[in-house]
Structure 1
Amino acid sequence: MIQHLGGFTWARRLKVRHLESFLVLEEAGTLTRAAEQLHMTQSAMSHWLAELENIAGTTLVIRGRRLQLTPAGQLLKHLALGVLGDIARAGHEMHAVAAGRVPRLNVGSVWAGIAGGLPEAVSLFQQQYPDVAVAIHDGPFDNLLKGLETRAMDAVVGVLDARAHRPGLAHRVLFEDRVAIVMGQGSKYWQHSSTPSFGNLLHEQWIMPPSGTLTRIQMDAFLIEQGASWLRPRVETASLAMMQTLLQKGDYVGVCSDSMAAYMASLGLFRKISSDSNIRFGPITVMWNDEHATPTLMDFVGCLEHGASTLHLSVPGQEI
């Protein structure tokens, strides 16, 4: 099958050294400067370029006071950057594996985790393990948990509920969280010296998480307690960026986790609105598949616990 792929044969004659030298040539701009950097004579450099153009089957540079890449040369440069970048990344990852570490961690998190110590944990972790990449994924909790089952995720930060007690999953509680009601700079109340009460906002335009999410379930239960079960949101979104933008540009009231509300308030973007009673969200927890736990992952879990504690978040059983 491979023999029939058009344009593949020339690549068999291509060497990594060809790609490295071509990038040096493009950056140097002249054969003379490139030859000096590669510790070659100009004659040898010219011979090397002719060999490379023979392999490619086309002209790669236009000679002048400063060399310019032809369209084919631009394509070869793109190939060189990609191939050499992949080789460098593979080298770092193999070094990590040889040292007994995984080369990459995939971590899923709900909003509360991102505001509740995850960035601090990543920073601390990578001070200890600079050769381990961390990929952060946010999204609905159910989707993130499925990633643990398929091994697409190494750890997930979310709320501790029945879903977290699936067979094979282990967890540690990071902090207790609640549901917060917030407004942004687009609210007509933003400039008021006193924050409006919950009752003042019942007829405002609300932004809430989608139906079925834990935050929405807790909020709907609170509305029933307050005799406001008739309240329906004008906007439903699972995107924090969308909610933040709407709160800044329009006259809306939003709903999010208290940890996220506190973080956004510290940046001057949100103001929390007091309600008649606290709306419990639940314990924010880091979960992982116990069968696939590695020492690297457990060190990251330790960094998460430290990140949550440095933000003065409560431990289980305490009020925020």
Structure 2
Amino acid sequence: MSAAVQVSHLSKRFGDRSAVADVSFTVDRGEVFGFLGPNGAGKTTTVRILGTLIAPSSGTASVAGIPLEPANGPEIRRRIAIMPEAPGLYLRLSVAENLEYFAGLYGLKRPRDRIAAALAAVSLADRAGERCGALSKGLRQRVGLARALLNEPEVLFLDEPTSGLDPVAARDVHDLIDGLRRQGVTIFLTTHRLAEAERLCDRVAIMQTTLRTVGRTDELRDRVFSKALTVTTAAPLPDPERVFAGLPAVDGWRADGTAGYALAVSDLAVAAPAVTRALVAAEADVLSITPAQHSLEDIYLQLIDNNEPAGRS
């Protein structure tokens, strides 16, 4: 099967300003793909291009297996859905009336069946008759998701779907995204919540006008950061150089606090046992020996702050 989204050397200029510059990436079918970057990085512009709302200045793309060309716009739009940060509901209409209106725009066959299925998917079947303006923001987000599911999209673009939601409402959205993944829906997720992206996404791309990097979080962690062990002892070592120097796969060390040590290593599986034996031989009271953990947020800040690409995949 062809990729859900294929982008090749895509660029978009607005006058003298470059919003997206020579961006290339692939999104596999059934993947949750995170699209990350600071404000003004080109994320929304890229989504608007892929959603057929604006034309690129150069480059090519395909969405749901269809080349991104003006003549193919209607067919692409039938196969995708876009949920912006503000879902754009008619607040004086009920939940069901909103969905009936949008089902009519899609020209759906059996709209009542599709509305019922979409409401069930977001656990809102019992709120169908309520006016949207009377719902909490979290519930309105769910209505927006139901609207995006009406046409059973192959590719679902979600722009900050949990923005402004409390933790419980955000968790409900996460559960829905996990459910859609299991159904084979491709989800293109833009978010500023990096912990959310790390939890949900199979791969992430980091944008800053150009594509900085793309890959799984563990891959990016290995590209951006060196392997390291963090050692904590109950009291400072009298002579840490004697303990750590010359150990297999240990490339260097530095004190990290009064009784903490950061060790640069080339192979964690070799270094950790050697460090443990050396500490025991030195009669140190060891509290912990752990691999250094770097989150997606650490990776993101390193790339954005240093303005250096980490490669592509």
TM-score (norm 2): 0.24
TM-score (norm 1): 0.24
Bigger fraction of residues in helix: 1
Highest Rg: 1 or 2? 1
Larger relative contact order (CA 8 Å, sep ≥ 6) = 1
Bigger fraction of residues in strand: 2
